[in-house]
Amino acid sequence: MRVLGIDCGSVYTGYGVVEQLANRELVCCTAGAIKLKPRDPMALKLQQIFSSLTAIIAEHQPRMVAIEDVFYAVNVKSALKLGQVRGVAMLAASSCGLEVAEYSPLSIKSSVVGYGRAEKHQVQQMVMRLLKLPVVPEPTDAADALAIAICHIHTATTLSRYQTAPS
């Protein structure tokens, strides 16, 4: 299973592709962030996000995309911008024929760290350990995107076990 995790943001949009091998080992295929220029018009930013994500999908061929649910915004304007970025991320996935799964921050932290109220640095450390990376992925948006992908893999694995378990 190969999953693209996306951490949506209007300045940095993090991405990370994680693959679960047959032996259940998790491997980081790629991670990074799409850096947007703050002074660019929103339409240009959205186009850059769309183009970058479709290129990542084409190169790494994930079977699924996972993103974080909107949970909090500083103000209405920030919430609208985040919603636009999420919409473009979903459009990039669906235009490539991929399904999108959405996870709450609590679910992501619980899946990766085992505690839904974990601090950001705890999530980053666990991402590094689970993927056997020598250093914490930078920028933090990339680490968050990897955590979202890991959350989906853990969730899908658990659901498939329940579906195949004898009644």
Active site (catalytic) residues: 7, 68, 141
Distance CA 7, CA 66 (A): 9
